Amino acid sequence: MGDLQIKKTGQVYEVAVIGSGAGGGMTAYTLAKAGVKVLMLEAGPFFDPAKDSRQLQWPYQSLRRGGNATRPMGDFDAAYGGWEIDGEPYTQKGNTKFEWFRAKMLGGRTNHWGRISLRMGPKDFKCRTAYGAGDDWPVTYNDIKPYYDKVDQLIGVYGSNEGLENDPDGIFLPPPPPRLGELFIKKAATGLGIKVIPGRGSVLTAPLPGNKNRGQCFYCGQCNRSCKVYGDFSSSSCLVIPAIKTGNLTVLTNAVVREIITDNNGLATGVSYVSKDDMQEYVVNAKAVVLAAGTCESARILLNSKTAQHINGLANSSNVVGKYLHDSTQTGGAVILPQLLNRPRFNEDGVGSLHVYAPWWADRQKLDFPRGYHLEIFGGMMMPSYGGYFGFEGSIVPLINGYVPDAAGKMKPGGGFGKSLKDDYRRFYGTFAGVGCHGTDVAKETNYCEIDNSVVDKYGIPVLRFHYEWGSDEIKQAKHMTETVGAIIKSLNAIPLIPPSGPENNWGLSNPGKGIHEVGTVRMGDDPKKSALNKWGQAHDCKNLFVTDGSMFVQQSEKNPTWTILALAMRTAEYILEQKQKQNI
Amino acid sequence: MNRRESLKALGLATATGVLLDACKPGTAGKTETVAGGDETGRQPFEVSREKELVQEKFFNAHEMATIAVLADIIIPKDGRSGSATDAKVPEFIEFIVKDEPEHQLPMRGGLRWLDVKCLNLYNNEFKSCTPQQQDAMVSAIAYPAQAAPEMQAGVTFFNKMRDLTAIGFFTSKLGIEDLGYRGNTPNNWKGVPADVLKMYGLEGV
């Protein structure tokens, strides 16, 4: 092996945190603020939105005009990584088409996420009891509510208090008003009996009380690029960088974790990793380890941490690690609103999160599937650009300009060129609007990730293999989504832009993983035979190992998971502090 | 930190809160020339890949000249703004086919199809045909639902050429101003203006 050796130091950190996204960031922040010496390992480079964001750049400041040749969500998007990463493959079992989005950077995927910040409701934590689907969590909404409240106050979230039973209110900043196209959709949905309310997003629409380090939103609508004034939530800007400033957090970047090291008693003693900077192997020591590498990566690390005491992998005597992988269901549709042809121009950027949405509204008793979905409404005069979620309606104009009369009131064949086409591009600008449906997938033991022992990544670490199939409940739910979107579009008298859907393509359900809400692979539970973690996120099999990312979810709801990850991570961090004080760990 | 302080932190506001010229609509951003210059927040592989792409050349001089003629037929100068070549659309197309190589074969083959078609019809390559001949040729491939079966290859090519031209034009400074996009500048979003709400009967929605 020549010069290759494993480098060890004598230093022992109190806690090692693996991962710097929402879960890792919140855990490290809470511990460091309380005076605990924490080491954080992040697989990607340092990222500070204040310096590294491409906010306010114009499309022509990118040679590819914002295109997605190197970043799947566009050249300005703040995610280093994507669905595929060179040298870090994953494999599929059978007909599975799981898509795994990874952002390898400080703050992980929170740098580019949609900032949609919803609490799970009382029935969501007791879903088996309430809906007869999935498993009940070992905690109730009332257990978690104080942490949601603290997260609201620490990080900031806009919204409106509505008093809805299963969509709990919060401590909200004022919500941003909707854009023009969004008002059309709101009116149409409301007419169908669907209640549409202001969105809930972690964007500072007003100064955050007690925080002088973060700027107020100035409405560029570019949250996905991350914010130079820290006007929205990224784990990097709002948690990790402030935690570094306490002097108690050390961050190791470009540190790819291989496994968690345990001793003869089965307790965690540290972490082994390979450094991308020098390709050398290292081991660091810690009295406790917190795993928050992201739902699938966390399962991978545990399954790769096999020893004589932990023959199935660490924290896996139950054999559930990797199982119950579940992502949001996702479909949607968009329209061109001919009412808006030649619409007035004004700055309509708004926030880069949700202006209005419809929480799940339907009566479960009248439906043939157990769990619901919500509607995310969007539309507006977005910055013209190539690639990314929103782009210029340009590429559809020649496909639809044959469906409406031209400026002179005459019909003409679709397509074209010249002055008349140039004018069509102007007329159609800002007429695009749509509805995204995001729903609950009921967690299944049969949907999982596991180690593919025949394939390793470029660091020699065995990779994940996925097995995931939508169940009949999800397909019925997707049919309902399609009908809802169809009804909204029909009542708008708009030009529909919906891909054809039916039983042959599961009613347009996206591939699993595409929602980027995957959770559940290291689930909590009271029964150590059926779960990996107790209700505090502590491994049943290893008392100084904790998990604080989405992998700990028992069953997600139709609410986007980040706010719940933050609340649970804060709660686990406080539990760690308490256990340290009692000298239990 | 309030909004005014946010803007100061960005270097975008004076002490009195008045926005500097640098962030008024249409003039924001540093400069229009970018070619691989700004490396802010970009990963090393992105920067080096882009430098290599800029060095490479895909289209030959004849192809570039044909692209320029086609681009200006698709988006000509009019009373409001300049043409596709004024917005440097051919340069964008040259870059994007290297950045997204899946366009290369359809573009190269499509340009050749067009020349051969014109050679048969008019005894001339496309770019040297008369404006009337060019108009007739483009008209035969610009309306997918009406095109003759033997023109289908041309329709496929023209769809792509038209898309790339429109993207290149409307993402340029010139094209963005033409469209009337007013954003990408710090502001205080207070919702759709009242007169616009009234115009669409959306008051109170």
Cβ–Cβ < 8 Å for A547, A535: no
> What per-residue confidence (pLDDT) applies to A394?
74
A356-358/A373-379 β-pairing: antiparallel
Residue A414 and residue B107: Cα distance in Å, rounded?
22
Residue of A nearest to B178 (CA): A426
Inter-chain touch B187–A348, beta carbons under 8 Å: no
Contacts of B8 (CB under 8 A, 6+ apart): B15
> What chain B residue is nearest to A386 in terms of C-alpha separation?
B167
Q: Read off the pLDDT band of B25 (50, 70, 90).
A: very low
pTM: 0.95
Residues from chain B contacting residue A60 (CB–CB below 8 Å): 32, 34, 171-173, 176
Angle at A165 between CA A164 and CA A168, to 5 degrees: 70
DSSP A87-100: T---EE-TT-----
Q: Tell me the pLDDT of chain A (585 aa) as tens digits.
A: 467 788 988 899 999 999 999 999 999 999 999 999 999 999 999 999 999 999 999 999 999 999 999 999 999 999 999 999 999 999 999 999 999 999 999 999 999 999 999 999 999 999 999 999 999 999 999 999 999 999 999 999 999 999 999 999 999 999 999 999 999 999 999 999 999 999 999 999 999 999 999 999 999 999 999 999 999 999 999 999 999 999 999 999 999 999 999 999 999 999 999 999 999 999 999 999 999 999 999 999 999 999 998 999 999 999 999 999 999 999 999 999 999 999 999 999 999 999 999 999 998 889 999 999 999 999 999 999 997 665 556 788 998 999 999 878 899 999 999 999 999 999 999 999 999 999 999 999 999 999 999 999 999 999 999 999 999 999 999 999 999 999 999 999 999 987 789 999 999 999 999 999 999 999 999 999 999 999 999 999 999 999 999 999 999 999 999 999 999 999 999 999 999 999 999
A residues 326-385 closer than 8 Å to B (CB): 339-340, 344-351, 381-385
CA dist., res. A268 & res. A17, Å (int): 12
- Identify the pLDDT of residue B31: 39
Q: In this model, does residue B30 exceed pLDDT 50?
A: no
Distance (Å, whole) CA A508 – CA A64 = 30
B119 touches chain A (CB under 8 A): no
ipTM value, please give it.
Answer: 0.95
* pLDDT tens digits for range B123-161: 999 999 999 999 999 999 999 999 999 999 999 999 999
Taken in order A404, A407, A413, A415, the sign of the CA dihedral is negative
Mark out the alpha helices in A492-517 (DSSP H runs).
none
DSSP 3-state of A525: coil
Q: How far apart, in Å, are the Cα atoms of A211 and each of A47, A178, A217?
A: 21, 27, 14
Q: Which of A51, A52, A56 to mutate to test the interface with B (most CBs of B within 10 A)?
A: A56
Backbone angles phi, psi at A8, to 5 degrees: -125, 150
Residue type, B13: A
Per-residue pLDDT, averaged over B28-49, amounts to 71
Dihedral of the alpha carbons of A559, A563, A564, A570, in degrees to the nearest 10: 180
Work out the angle between the directed axes of helices B131-141 and B104-122 (0-180°, nearest 10). 130
Q: Is A515 on the interface with B (CB under 8 A)?
A: no
Positive or negative, the CA dihedral A214, A215, A216, A219 is negative
Mark yes or no for CB contact B29/A61 under 8 Å.
Answer: yes
At residue B18, the pLDDT reads 34
Mutate to test the interface with A, among B6, B42, B77, B132 (most CBs of A within 10 A): B6
Cβ-count burial of A179 within 10 angstroms (0-12 exposed, 13-18 middle, 19+ buried)? Answer: buried
Q: In what helix (H) or strand (E) does residue A580 lie, and over which residues does it extend? A: helix A562-581
**Which tokens go with A344?**
């007035």
Q: Order across the sheet with A329-336: list the strands.
A: A197-198, A356-358, A373-379, A432-439, A329-336, A495-497
CB A575 within 8 A of CB A536: yes
Residue A213 distance to chain B (closest CA, Å): 7
Closest listed residue to residue A374, CA positions, set A490, A481, A501, A475? A481
Of B1, B21, B59, residue with least CA distance to B186: B21
Interface touch B181/A383, C-beta < 8 Å: yes
Q: Collect all residues with Cβ–Cβ distance below 8 Å to B19 and sequence separation of at least 6.
A: B7, B12, B13, B185, B186
Tell me if A569 sits within 8 A of A577, measured CB to CB. no
Contact B38 A57 (CB under 8 A): yes
**Which residue is listed with tokens 């649970």?**
A568
Q: Which amino acid is at A379?
A: G
Query: Chain A window 459-488: which residues touch B at a Cβ cutoff of 8 Å?
Result: none
User: Is there a contact between B183 and A176 if contact means CB atoms under 8 Å apart?
Assistant: no
Cβ neighbourhood burial of A72 (10 Å; 0-12, 13-18, 19+): middle
- Token pair, residue B21, equals 């010229």
Q: Distance (Å) from the C-alpha of residue A257 to the closest C-alpha of chain B? A: 21
Instruction: Give the alpha-carbon dihedral of A92, A292, A351, B164, to 10 degrees.
Output: -30
Q: What is the pLDDT of residue B12?
A: 58
Mean pLDDT of B56-69: 98
